[in-house]
Amino acid sequence: MDNTTKREFPSDFLWGSASAAYQIEGGYLEDGKGMSNWDAFVRIPGKTFKSTTGDIAVDHYHRYKEDIALMAQMGLKTYRFSVAWARIYPNGNGELNKKGVEFYNNLIDECLKYNIEPMVTIFHWDLPQSLVDEYGGWENRNIVDDYVNYAKTLFKEFGNKVKYWITLNEQNIFTSLGWLTAQHPPGKFDDKKMFYQVNHHAFMAHAKAVIAYREMGGCGKIGASFAYTPSYALDCRPSNAMSKYNYDDLKNFWWLDVYGYGRYPKAAMTYLKRKGIAPEIKQGDENILKKAAMEIDFMGVNYYQSCVCEYNPMDGVTPYGTMNTTGVKGSSQVVGIPGIYKNPANPYLMTTDWDWSIDPVGLKYCCREITSRYNLPIIISENGLGAFDKKETDNSIHDDYRIKYLEEHVKSLGEAISEGCEVLAYCTWSFTDLLSWLNGYQKRYGFIYVDRDENDSAPMTRYKKDSYFWYKKVIETNGKCIE
């Protein structure tokens, strides 16, 4: 707590890096893969930066061996990737696509060949479009059975080789952007009632998959990954302190408490009931959520930034402010819920070109909160800096800003560990550059520069950035080099 303790990472600490199928694979209709909701969404004019798609992405589908060899050279201990549901079940349910299973078997084997622990995300936002056409996807409770069937297929096919499973990636983000702000599929605006209902379906899908994993004898580790944006009250004015409390109940604990305790936060639920937007919960659901909460092995955290909470008057800002998807600093607007909270900028923190605050302490804050509140081990499943990178004429990429960002966050994580948090893994976002959902290819996160831009005919050659060599050293010394 006093920051004087030595930062030590456990000897079996998993230094890793993460990706998601839609953002990296490409091959969007190859070898029997079906269309996903994202394949359909990006074709609607104006939805993504310069109309970018993941049709080819960074061609990992064909270059995974090259990418994993680069990971091995670096000494990476774990590679977190997601499975594209529509490669396994092109229609979401029904007939299994053997070619899809084969691809992921090859990918997993390639990791294992180099002693890289595969960490598999079951759902990272790309939903088979057939399920949307058939019954509305996550809006219909039928999704729970189809998701569980798909998850069980993965456990059966890969369960003997994969020891780390992430059920859902950032349920809070894909539902918020999908049903409140219309920025992700299905592109619905302000459908609050449906937003909470969709979330309840997703919680049930997560919970039933966790229970199924155990029933199938799975002895690896399983949990969900949450996009955790911890909050600080603007000042000690009681109304601002209370706005932080409300923000946490509505924006953080609404998800974390269900994963960790199997129940919704009471004040938030009371508020939703009063507004008539609480989800329909069937008899027996609560027991299932509670059972799954007892069975999860870790809390997955995707951490990028913290936020500030201030009281927001009834005629104040809404959740629908402009988001910066261009990299033009200062182009995002303050958002909030009228009468509850708003999130002004933090005057003590610098921001990225996409207006995300840079706050290494926030990472420790997340770990401490999870440890105190849920007493669960933690996997940092994403953390990284999106930036414009420049490839020099000699093909070097000097991303010292990324090194600085990651170094400060790793230090903070080390402090969390020395203060009693059990952290199993740290995955940076991302290993190679890849598609940023709404920001095209210019917002880069990787250790490996991929020579492509918004133009699909680019060569896609891989180049090591300076941060590649930095992370290699961090892994080699188990974090000691940054003391």
Determine if 302 is a binding residue for ligand BGP (CB under 6 A). yes
Stretch that binds ligand BGP, among 169-177, 199-207, 258-266, 313-321 (CB under 6 A): 169-177
Of 231 and 302, nearer to ligand BGP (C-beta) is 302
Verify cis geometry, omega within 30 degrees of 0, for the bond prior to 377: no
Active site residue 382: yes
**Is the CB of 169 or the CB of 197 nearer to ligand BGP?**
169
CB closer to ligand BGP out of 173 and 482? 173
Looking at 179, 254, 429, 441, which residue binds ligand BGP (CB under 6 A)? 429
Stretch that binds ligand BGP, among 127-135, 165-173, 207-215, 238-246 (CB under 6 A): 165-173
CB of 37 to ligand BGP, least distance (A): 15
Note whether 472 and 448 are within 8 A (CB): no
Give yes or no for residue 49 binding ligand BGP (CB under 6 A): no
Q: Please say whether the beta carbons of 84 and 99 come within 8 A.
A: no
When binding is defined by CB under 6 A, the residue of 63, 201, 221, 443 that contacts ligand BGP is 443
* 226 touches ligand BGP by CB under 6 A: no
| Residue closer to ligand BGP (CB basis): 20 or 131 | 20
Angle, vertex CA 282, rays to CA 280 and CA 283, nearest 5: 145
Q: How many residues does the chain have?
A: 483
Name residue 59's amino acid: D
Q: CA-to-CA distance for 18 and 3, rounded, in angstroms? A: 29
Among 181, 371, 428, 436, binds ligand BGP (CB under 6 A): 436
Do 307 and 357 form a contact (C-beta atoms < 8 A)? Answer: yes
Tell me: does residue 213 bind ligand BGP (CB under 6 A): no
**CA–CA separation, 45 vs 43, rounded Å?**
6
Q: What is the dihedral of CA 30, 33, 34, 40, to 10 degrees?
A: -50
Please pick, from the candidates 227, 317, 397, 474, the single residue that binds ligand BGP as defined by CB under 6 A: 227
Contact set for ligand BGP, span 361-400 (CB under 6 A): 382, 386
The least distance separating ligand BGP from the CB of residue 171, rounded to whole angstroms, comes to 11
Residues 162 and 34: their CA atoms lie apart, in Å, by 24
**By Cβ distance, which residue is nearest to ligand BGP?**
436
Q: Is 120 among the residues that bind ligand BGP (CB under 6 A)?
A: no
- CA-derived radius of gyration, the chain: 21
Which of 157, 170, 310, 369 is an active site residue?
A: 170
Q: Which stretch binds ligand BGP (CB under 6 A): 195-203, 339-347, 397-405, 437-445?
A: 437-445
Pairing mode, if any, of strands 78-82 and 14-18? parallel
* Of residues 262-291, those binding ligand BGP (CB under 6 A): none
Between strands 378-382 and 231-233, the pairing is unpaired
What single-letter DSSP state applies at residue 252? Answer: I
Phi, psi angles (nearest 5°) of residue 217:
90, 10
Element (H, E) at 302: strand 299-302
Residues that bind ligand BGP (CB under 6 A): 20, 23, 169-170, 173, 227, 302, 382, 386, 429, 436-439, 443
